[in-house]
Each structure stands twice: as C-alpha cells, then as structure tokens.
Structure 1
Amino acid sequence: MNKIEKAVNLMKENKYEEAANLFNTYIEENPNDPLGFVNFGNLLLHINDLEHAENFFHKAIELDVTTATAYYGLGNLYYEQEDFPKAQKNFLAAIKNGLEEADVYFMLGMSHQSQQQFKLAIPYLLRAKEINPNDQEVLFQYGLALAQSELLSEAKEVFNEVLQIDSEHSDALYNLGVIALFEDDATKALDLFDQALQLDPNHVLAANGKRVAEEGIN
C-alpha cells in the first residue's frame, strides 16, 4: 500500500491531519505527480477549505492537463459554491478526459437540475443510472428530471424502480401521487399521499397533495 492509499484510508477514518501529512510527504517525494495534488485537494474540499483545494486541483492540471479527477474535484468544489455553470464545465472536462463513473454523470445532471434545466439533466442522469442501476438517489433524481420535463409515464416507471429498492421512499410515493393527480386518478393519488405521510408525517408536500386529492374526490 503506497502513501496515497494509506492517506485515503486515514481520511475514511476521519484522521485528516495524519492523512494531510502523508499527502504532503508524497507530494515532496513526487512533485510532478498530479495524483498527490488531486488527493490533497479532495481532503481540503472534504474539510471545506475550498480556496486551498482549488489551488491543489489547478496545480494537478498544470502538471497534466488530462488529469480527469482534478476536473472532477473542481466540479464538486464549484457545485458546493453553487456556481453550477463552472461545475458543469469541469464535470464535462472530467468525462472528456476519460472519467467514466456514475458520480461524474450524476453531478453533471444535478448541475443542470439546480439550474432548472431538467431536459438537459436527463441524458446525464440516465447514463449514471446505466452505470449504477441500483443507486436509489440516482434513480430518484432521474425520475424527478423526467417528471419535471413532463415525461410522466417514464417518470412513473422510474419512481416504481426506486420503490423496488426502497419500499419506504416517501418522496417517490409523493411524486407518484402527483403523477396520479395529473392522470385524474384522485383516489390513487390519495392512497399514495397517505402512504408517504405514514412514512413521514412531516412531509408537507404530501399533506398538501392529500388535500388536493380529497377535494378532487369530493
């Protein structure tokens, strides 16, 4: 196990100072290896030292302009700062430079979602789903993008997939209730909103949906 692997394991154990010391030693011994800078940048991002993290990611790119994980790190950093156009640009650069993981496609989709660009989010969230079909958060956000793009039958299918993984996903039940309302099936909508509220009594949107469904029935 090399110093980077040891430091990453230390990060997982929340031993950030020890991890930082190891990353620093690795960088001193390998000043031209961008991976040392990327990993130190990831640690700094994790502890919310965004300014220094940004410097480390840029240093990695200076050393090798094709360092995909450095662009991914910058994408996450700008996403945290809610600078979604910059986040998009860097996630795209990560993909262009060979990063083919569900997370980068998911975050690119979420960058579009955060700007209300629902249709633009769909292909990236779909790709994340293809790579990681059992990730319920990926599935849910993909379903949400479909629903917000008024692709209701496709969204319904995806929300049902979410429920196959987690039968107690109150937000999936709520969104299926909303779709049922759009389909003029107030009785089914009421049942779905009730299920969501049983799982989460504080689900304000489900409570509002229930009132609408009851008015529709009456």
Structure 2
Amino acid sequence: MDENEKAIEAISNGNYEEALEFLNTAIEKNPQDSIAYINFGNILAEVGESERALSFYQKAIEIDNQAAAAYYGAGNVLFNVEKYEEALQMYQKAHHAGLDDGSLHYMMGLSHFQIEKVGHALACFQRAVEWDETDTEARYYYGLCLAQTEQIDEAMSQLKKVVEEDDNHADAYYNLGVASMMTDGLKDAIYYFEQAIEAQPDHMLALNGKEQAQKMLEE
C-alpha cells in the first residue's frame, strides 16, 4: 500500500491529519505525483480551506492537464463559494478530460441553473437522471427545468416520481401545485400545496399558493 492508498484509508476513517502526513510523504518522494495533490486538495476542501484547496488542485493540473478529478474538485470549491461560472468551466474541463458520471452532470446542471441558463441545465439534469434514476434531487431539478421551459406535462410526470421517492419533498409538492394551477387543476393544486405544507409547515410559497387556489376555486 503506497502513501496515497494509506491517505485514502485514513480519510475514510476521518483521520485527516494522518492522511496529510501520508500525502506530504508522497509529495516529498515524488513532487510530480498529481494524485497526492488532488487528495491533499480534497482534504482541504472538506475542512473549508477553499483557497488552499484550489492551489493544490491547480498544482495537480500543472503536473497533469488531464487530471479530471482536480478540475472536478476545483469546480466544487468554486461552486460552494458561489462562483458558478468559474465552477462550470472547471466541470466542463473535467468532462473534456474524461470524467463522465451522474454527479458531474448534476453539478454542471446546478451551475447552469444558478446562472439562469435553464435550457443547458435541463440537458445536464436529464443526463444525470439517465446515469442514476435514483438521484431524486437531479430528477427534481429536471422537473423544475421542464416546468420553466413550459413542458408542463413532462414536468409533472418527473415531479410525481420525486414525491414517490421522497414523500417529504416540500418543494416538489409546491411545484406540482403550481403546475396544476397552470392546467386549471385547482383542486389538485390545493392538494399538492397542502402536502407541501405538511412536509414543511413554514413553506410560505405553498401557503400563499393554497390561498390563491382556494380563492380561484370559489370564484
């Protein structure tokens, strides 16, 4: 077992200081070990040292410009500090370097969504769901993007699957309520708003939506 493997084992056990010692040794033995820099960056990101984490990811990229994990790690750090466009660039570089999985497509989707590129976000979330049909949050955002692009029937189909998988997903219930109002299903809308409120009693949008739907039904 080499130092990187020992470090990963230490990380899995929550022993970050021990892991960093192994990684320091790995870098001393081989300053061109991009994996050690990536693992070092992952630990720093985990403990909230964003700037230092980015510097280690950048060093890994300087050593190996096809280090997909370094681009992905840097993307996560940038996303967490709300630098969404920069994060997206890193995720795209990770993809170009060969990383292709549901988590990457989900994070690219979230980045597009945050900068209001809903069409691009929709495509990414669809790909994420294709990768992992059990990814409830990816499916939720896929449904949300479908609704925002006025594909209401398909949006409702996806959001119904979300609440089947997670019957406490207040936002999914709320958006089902909104979609129902758009298709004149006021009684259904009230039901979904009530489900959202049951899951999250202080869901102000659902409370307001229910009130509006009830008024429209009484007219």
* TM-score (structure 1 length as normaliser): 0.94
In structure 2, relative to structure 1, the CA distance for the partners of 1:150 and 1:54 (3 Å cut) is: same
Who is 2:8 aligned against? 8
Bigger mean CA deviation after superposition, 10-19 or 203-212? 10-19
Q: Assess if the C-alpha contact under 8 Å between 2:45 and 2:53 holds in 1.
A: yes
Who is 2:31 aligned against? 31
Q: Residue by residue, what CA displacement relative to the aligned partner does 1:114-148 show, whole Å, maximum 9, x if unpaired?
A: 11211110111111111111011111111112222
Who is 2:50 aligned against? 50
Q: Residue by residue, what CA displacement relative to the aligned partner does 1:176-211 show, whole Å, maximum 9, x if unpaired?
A: 111001111111100111111122211111111111
Matches within 5 A, 1:52-67: 52-67=52-67
**Cα shift at 1:174:** 1.1
Q: Assess if the C-alpha contact under 8 Å between 2:112 and 2:120 holds in 1.
A: yes
* TM-score (structure 2 length as normaliser): 0.94
C-alpha separation in 2, matches of 1:5 and 1:133 = 31
Give the share of equivalent positions with the same residue, in percent.
38
Bigger mean CA deviation after superposition, 84-93 or 139-148? 139-148
C-alpha separation in 1, matches of 2:102 and 2:33 = 25
Who is 1:133 aligned against? 133
Residues 1:185 and 2:154 are matched in the alignment: no
Q: Assess if the C-alpha contact under 8 Å between 2:159 and 2:176 holds in 1.
A: yes
* Secondary structure class of the residue paired with 2:82: coil
**Cα shift at 1:75:** 1.0
Who is 1:104 aligned against? 104
Q: Residue by residue, what CA displacement relative to the aligned partner does 1:133-170 show, whole Å, maximum 9, x if unpaired?
A: 10111111111122222221111111111122122322
C-alpha separation in 2, matches of 1:68 and 1:82 = 21
Q: Assess if the C-alpha contact under 8 Å between 2:146 and 2:152 holds in 1.
A: yes
Matches within 5 A, 1:73-152: 73-152=73-152
In structure 2, relative to structure 1, the CA distance for the partners of 1:155 and 1:9 (3 Å cut) is: farther
**Cα shift at 1:2:** 3.8
In structure 2, relative to structure 1, the CA distance for the partners of 1:17 and 1:113 (3 Å cut) is: same
C-alpha separation in 2, matches of 1:31 and 1:149 = 49
* Secondary structure class of the residue paired with 1:98: coil
Q: Which amino acid aligns with 2:22?
A: L
Q: Which amino acid aligns with 1:59?
A: K
* Pairwise CA RMSD: 1.4
Who is 2:22 aligned against? 22
Q: Which amino acid aligns with 2:65?
A: V
* Secondary structure class of the residue paired with 1:158: helix
In structure 2, relative to structure 1, the CA distance for the partners of 1:166 and 1:49 (3 Å cut) is: same
**Cα shift at 1:14:** 3.0
